[in-house]
Homo-oligomer: A and B are copies of this chain.
Amino acid sequence: MSTTAENTAASSASGVPAEVRDAILTVSERARKARGELATARRSRKDETLQGMADALVENAPAILSANRQDVEEGRAKGTSEAMLDRLRLDEQRIGALAAALQELVALPDPVGNVVRGRDLPNGLHMTQLRVPLGVVGAIYEARPNVTVDIAGLALKSGNAVILRGGSAARHTNTVLIQILREQALAHGFDADIIQGIDEHGRDGATALMSTRGSVDVLVPRGGRELIQSVVTNAQVPVIETGEGNVHLFIDASAPVRMAVDIALNAKTQRVSVCNSAETLLIHAEAEEAGREVLRALSRAGVFLHVDERARGWLSAAAADSAQTATDEDWGTEYLALEMAVKTVGSLDEAMDHIRRWSTGHTEAIVTNDLANADRFVAEIDSAAVIVNASTRFTDGGQLGLGAEVGISTQKMHARGPMGLEELTTTKWVLRGQGQIRP
């Protein structure tokens, strides 16, 4: 079956202008061609390239900052919020952090070539299952320039060509960053097309990229719920879903009060805009003291609460007045803000039923001193990460000692939880014989 014919058929269905479709097809075919040498490159050469990229980012800081100022000014003129502008903005220190992230990749082991299984078969065939790069990785993400550098670095280290589609609000910055990365790829003897950006083609470019089945091996959307849902729904290329975290924290009847307060505060308030922060608090009705203390601490920390009637009774008069009554919409919301839904439950089973119904499968935690309940929670909750007596904020590649991550997968296929270098690989079975045939 011809890959080119397939792509053309798939893309023509999408309603994208022919010139954009053709441009993206060309980009994906260039990536496919460029990837061959990268896929088999030895680690030292990939590490030298990453180091060269890190150095070049720092050396070219003035050009990056100039392009970034242009993005920020255009954003401000369009009325972009200060919070969004802050995510977009770079300074010398942030550029240093981009370079440091690439240097951390140098230190991580290269998964390519690792032997997953290997043995001699009875007939003398020598069998090995080896890690190999996926091939061409497409990334669609929102306007955070660090994602451009992070994903390009992870792709390079794992031997994959990458096609980057960042948010249009970071267009000028991304253009300069990608140019610098490509120059370093070239300087280390690779085809520059191992890293390509397609921001110039706008939304149509992203749509066309989703149709490049056969050329692009996997698409990773990274950003908010709408972006991810749009890619999952529309892509013909395999997608790894990341990030949406409607994370639950359950305070069991036996929860130590101090521990419950510390963990709830940390899970909700330590950083509110990230996927592993807690969104719904479930409290056992018998954990009244812990419940009262936790709710008081959250209120003091400025968390707006959506509560059921029993939880309202545990609030101070002032807090009870300002709290809203929780609805089904609250149970299903990932606030990503100083806001939390609170439900009291009569049992562990009621807590787990609620989680089963509303969870996005990212992370759920229990605070308990009951061993049987801890074991049941771990065994029966079907999420990427299940945590006993610790903050939900630990579902993170860096925290778990796995190194840099492409994102946190909330799906079950291929990758689940933090996705690092290994998750950007597949395996290949290699058989070496001396003329063996099947009898």
Q: Which residues of A contact B (CB under 8 A)?
A: 1-3, 36, 39-40, 119, 121, 125, 127, 129, 132, 134-135, 217-218, 233, 236, 238, 240, 246, 256, 258-259, 262-263, 265-267, 270, 328, 332, 357-358, 360, 374, 378-380, 382-391, 393-395, 399-401, 411-414, 416-418, 426-438
Q: Return the contact of A416 from the options B328, B386, B426 (Cβ within 8 A).
A: B426
Q: What CA separation (Å) do A431 and B121 show in the bound complex?
A: 38
Q: Which residue of B lies closest to A10 (CB)?
A: B233
Q: Which residue of B lies closest to A376 (CB)?
A: B40
Contact B437 A393 (CB under 8 A): yes
| Chain B residues closer than 8 Å to A433, beta-carbon distance | 387-390, 394
Contact B263 A1 (CB under 8 A): no
| Chain B residues closer than 8 Å to A414, beta-carbon distance | 413-414
Min Cβ gap A365→B in Å is 8
Contact B135 A394 (CB under 8 A): no
Q: What CA separation (Å) do A394 and B122 show in the bound complex?
A: 12
Contact A393 B121 (CB under 8 A): no
Q: What CA separation (Å) do A414 and B412 show in the bound complex?
A: 9
Contact B429 A390 (CB under 8 A): no
| Chain B residues closer than 8 Å to A270, beta-carbon distance | 437-438
Q: Return the contact of A417 from the options B391, B429, B434 (Cβ within 8 A).
A: B429
Q: Which residue of B lies closest to A236 (CB)?
A: B233
Q: Return the contact of A121 from the options B240, B391, B400 (Cβ within 8 A).
A: B400
What are 21 A-B pairs at a CB distance below 8 A?
A1-B360, A39-B382, A125-B390, A127-B400, A135-B412, A238-B413, A266-B438, A378-B430, A378-B432, A384-B428, A385-B428, A385-B430, A386-B429, A388-B431, A388-B432, A389-B432, A390-B433, A394-B436, A394-B438, A400-B429, A416-B429
| Chain B residues closer than 8 Å to A391, beta-carbon distance | 436-438
Q: What CA separation (Å) do A310 and B233 show in the bound complex?
A: 49
The 8 closest A-B pairs by CB, nearest first: A390-B433, A266-B437, A412-B426, A414-B414, A390-B436, A259-B435, A385-B429, A393-B438
A1-B358, A358-B1, A401-B119 in contact; A427/B437 too (CB < 8 A)? Answer: no
Q: Return the contact of A413 from the options B119, B233, B426 (Cβ within 8 A).
A: B426
Q: What CA separation (Å) do A248 and B102 show in the bound complex?
A: 40
Min Cβ gap A224→B in Å is 14
Min Cβ gap A244→B in Å is 8
Q: Which residue of B lies closest to A378 (CB)?
A: B430
Min Cβ gap A147→B in Å is 21
Q: What CA separation (Å) do A134 and B361 show in the bound complex?
A: 12
Residue of A217, A256, A414, A429 with highest tally of chain B CB at under 10 A? A429
Contact A40 B413 (CB under 8 A): no
Contact A390 B437 (CB under 8 A): yes
Min Cβ gap A392→B in Å is 9
Q: Return the contact of A132 from the options B258, B374, B382, B427 (Cβ within 8 A).
A: B382
Min Cβ gap A376→B in Å is 9
Q: What CA separation (Å) do A259 and B426 show in the bound complex?
A: 31
Q: Which residue of B lies closest to A383 (CB)?
A: B428
